[in-house]
Amino acid sequence: MSQHWTSTLGLVQRAGALVTGEEQVIKAIQSNKAKLVIVASDASSGTLKKMTDKTTFYRVRLAVVSDRETLGHALGKHERVSIAVMDQGFATSIMNRIQKELDGQ
């Protein structure tokens, strides 16, 4: 089986192609720098709606997956609710892995 998609997040972070936190993610979306936004499935309904609205308006791919602990752990942090991937290659790779995982279930 291929690597889990979260294993790529640390690499993306070290490459400087990732931002976390609601404000930073929204700025990345609005400046057209975000190529993929990942939101934890246990995010508040308000956060989820805001991210859905912004990504829809700015035409950025959105993935609602996992939980805040899993996202944080993948980055070596405590908890993370929202992440923006700023590199198209990484974004495509992560989305492909997420899709394969979803298709396998």
Taking the model in full, what pTM does it have? 0.93
Which CATH number is 63's domain given?
3.30.1330.30
Please tell me the distance from the alpha carbon of residue 71 to that of residue 12, in angstroms, as a whole number.
Answer: 13
pLDDT in tens, 39-76: 999 999 999 999 999 999 999 999 999 899 999 999 99
Residue 1 lies in a domain: no
Residue 80 lies in a domain: yes
**pLDDT above 70 for 100:** yes
State which residues form the domain around 31.
Answer: 7-104
**pLDDT above 90 for 2:** no
**pLDDT above 90 for 3:** no
**pLDDT above 80 for 105:** no
